[in-house]
Amino acid sequence: MSESSSTKTRFTAKVITFTAVSIALGFALSYVKLFHFPWGGSITLCSMLMIALIGYFFGPVVGLIGAFIYGILQFFQGGAYVLSPLQVCLDYFVAFTALGITGFFKDKKNGLLIGYLLGIILRGALHAIGGYLYWMDYMPEEFPASLAVIYPIVYNYAYILGEGVITVILISLPPVKNAINRVKTMATQQ
């Protein structure tokens, strides 16, 4: 087998199955809301972790594709807001795809933790950009202009980092870390 063919992403039945199960778990867990903010956004039970695991198990190509599919499901989940096609792409397809960047860290020490943190920070940034570009135009007239600069950042990172803290604590626990490593081994064995 040549070097280029050994590094190619293979969409085997096992890869597709593990990816589909991770997406399904992430989607189901997105309904388990630990805290719902009065202005919108919810801290869910590690739904983003399930999507980040795809990249951590199989690399960036599968991770980004799996996360993109998850973004599509989030759009159809209900309550999707459509202001423009570009807003939908940014808020759903591009922002959720950021969770797949864990794939770039799949073979690194603490790769899941690093990739997950970068993925959620990038997801929050993309949502905040969408907030600046689209959502601030819909704020009430009495909304203080001085808060317009920080509101999209605070709004989006409140729930994203809230879930991120819970997830980081969870994946740092030795039994959870060992379980994730066992599943990764099972998912990636030939």
Which residue ranges make up each domain of the chain?
Answer: 3-188
pLDDT at 7: 55
Q: How confident is the model at residue 133 (pLDDT cuts 50, 70, 90)?
A: confident
pTM of the model: 0.90
Mean pLDDT throughout 125-145?
A: 83
CATH topology of domain 3-188: Arp2/3 complex 21 kDa subunit ARPC3 (1.10.1760)
Look at residues 74, 181, 111 and name the one whose alpha carbon lies nearest to residue 66: 74
Q: Which residue has the higher pLDDT, 88 or 102?
A: 102
Cβ neighbors of 98 (< 8 A, separation 6 or more) are 67, 119, 120, 122, 123, 126
